Amino acid sequence: DTAVSQTPKYLVTQMGNDKSIKCEQNLGHDTMYWYKQDSKKFLKIMFSYNNKELIINETVPNRFSPKSPDKAHLNLHINSLELGDSAVYFCASSPGTANTEAFFGQGTRLTVV
């Protein structure tokens, strides 16, 4: 069974479109994250939720809106996609905010054309 699963794995879309990426974890963890990995492989945190509450919100354009319907799910909606949004987006989870060892999903490669 996949511990942290995100869909889709690949997403190609045109500039200006709105798209969503979904993430689910079956590890029973309290905390979930979205990370962005750029073309140079630099991995940077975007958001963190603990028990459905937003606890970390980095300097991310407000076109990006995370939503956590329950503590096992964290989705990412992106409005008005731009070329610079092209990257690999990783969902991750960890047992709690004090224990930040993260378990990552396989990533969603977003390409904006």
Closest to other proteins by CB, 40 vs 84, is 40
Smallest gap from Cβ 34 to other proteins, in A, equals: 12
- Pairing status of strand 103-104 against strand 43-50: unpaired
* Size of residue set near other proteins by CB under 8 A: 21
69 burial class (0-12, 13-18, 19+ CB within 10 angstroms)? Answer: exposed
SS3 16: coil
Instruction: Select from 8, 17, 44, 53 the one that contacts other proteins (CB under 8 A).
Output: 44
Burial of 34 (0-12, 13-18, 19+ CB in 10 A): buried
Residues 4, 11, 23, 81: which binds other proteins (CB under 8 A)? 4
SS3 2: coil
Determine the interface stretch with other proteins among 20-28, 64-72, 76-84, 92-100 (rule: CB under 8 A). Answer: 92-100
- Start-to-end CA distance of the chain, whole Å, equals 34
Q: How far is the CB of 98 from other proteins (least distance, A)?
A: 7
Contact between 68 and other proteins (CB under 8 A)?
A: no
Binding site for other proteins (CB under 8 A): 4, 40-45, 48, 56, 90, 92, 97-98, 100-107
